[in-house]
Chain A
Amino acid sequence: DVKVTQSSRYLVKRTGEKVFLECVQDMDHENMFWYRQDPGLGLRLIYFSYDVKMKEKGDIPEGYSVSREKKERFSLILESASTNQTSMYLCASGTRTGTDTQYFGPGTRLTVL
């Protein structure tokens, strides 16, 4: 059974803090993605990675960075958290073709106070 795990289900941080969200997949997928999901806006792509140490900006990369040192792990970093980054963060993985399905982790609900 495919599995994508995220380091935290719920996280509360203060404005200005550095935040790390970690995602691990056990399917040997090449592609990994970070999205945020907000009511009425749907899933918006922050960053994605198609290989180890490779990363590409998505639609809303500002205020975020990512790291992919190992194939199975993709980290999202908020360098200095702000209240407008309060959201649900979803990690996903998928095969290299890019036309296949994506498998999502359970999500991290981040609140920035």
Chain B
Amino acid sequence: RKEVEQDPGPFNVPEGATVAFNCTYSNSASQSFFWYRQDCRKEPKLLMSVYSSGNEDGRFTAQLNRASQYISLLIRDSKLSDSATYLCAVPTGGFKTIFGAGTRLFVKA
């Protein structure tokens, strides 16, 4: 089992739709979690961090389920500009962070 796993997608959704991605992790001791957004041919940039049960920022909600060892990212009212790859990241407790391979999202007009 990979340390961090994501559904690669792609997810194709119309504008205005609600879409959710999951990310599973194997290290039950992990305490913090991150979602990064990566546009085509660009670097990853932090979207949200999750340290407890969840976090909300506008149309974006990240939730943590420790019992099942996954985090989710919910995007409401999708915009064309939300089209990107979303990377899940889980620090290992040392200096390393394990990144998922990413979930691609396409929002269509």
Q: Kindly list chain A residues whose C-beta atoms are within 8 Å of the C-beta of B46.
A: 101-103
The reply to whether B43 and A102 form a contact with Cβ atoms under 8 Å apart is no
The reply to whether B97 and A105 form a contact with Cβ atoms under 8 Å apart is no
Q: Kindly list chain A residues whose C-beta atoms are within 8 Å of the C-beta of B14.
A: none
Instruction: Bits for B49-76, please: 1 = Cβ < 8 Å to A, else 0.
Output: 1000000000000000000000000000
Q: Kindly list chain B residues whose C-beta atoms are within 8 Å of the C-beta of A45.
A: 96
State the CA gap A103–B49 with chains docked (Å).
13
Instruction: Bits for B32-49, please: 1 = Cβ < 8 Å to A, else 0.
Output: 101000000111111001
Instruction: Bits for A25-54, please: 1 = Cβ < 8 Å to B, else 0.
Output: 000000100010000111101001010000
Main SS at interface, chain B: loop
| Residue on A nearest B91 in the bound complex, by CB | A99
State the CA gap A35–B8 with chains docked (Å).
19
**With an 8 A cutoff between CB atoms, is B16 at the interface?**
no
Instruction: Bits for A41-79, please: 1 = Cβ < 8 Å to B, else 0.
Output: 111010010100000101000000000000000000000
The reply to whether A98 and B94 form a contact with Cβ atoms under 8 Å apart is yes
B87 interface neighbour in A41, A42, A107, Cβ under 8 Å: A42
With known contacts A40-B8, A101-B49, A106-B43, A48–B96 Cβ distance under 8 A: yes
Least Cβ–Cβ distance between A57 and chain B, in angstroms: 11
The reply to whether B95 and A50 form a contact with Cβ atoms under 8 Å apart is yes
The reply to whether B34 and A42 form a contact with Cβ atoms under 8 Å apart is no
A48 interface neighbour in B32, B89, B95, B99, Cβ under 8 Å: B95
Instruction: Bits for A89-113, please: 1 = Cβ < 8 Å to B, else 0.
Output: 0100010001101111111000000
Least Cβ–Cβ distance between B22 and chain A, in angstroms: 16
The reply to whether A41 and B101 form a contact with Cβ atoms under 8 Å apart is yes
Q: Kindly list chain A residues whose C-beta atoms are within 8 Å of the C-beta of B92.
A: 98
**In the complex, which residues 1-47 of chain B have their Cβ closer than 8 Å to any Cβ of chain A?**
8, 31-32, 34, 41-46
Point out residues on A near B: beta carbons under 8 Å.
31, 35, 40-43, 45, 48, 50, 56, 58, 90, 94, 98-99, 101-107
The 9 closest A-B pairs by CB, nearest first: A42-B101, A104-B43, A43-B99, A98-B95, A101-B46, A99-B32, A99-B91, A104-B44, A50-B95
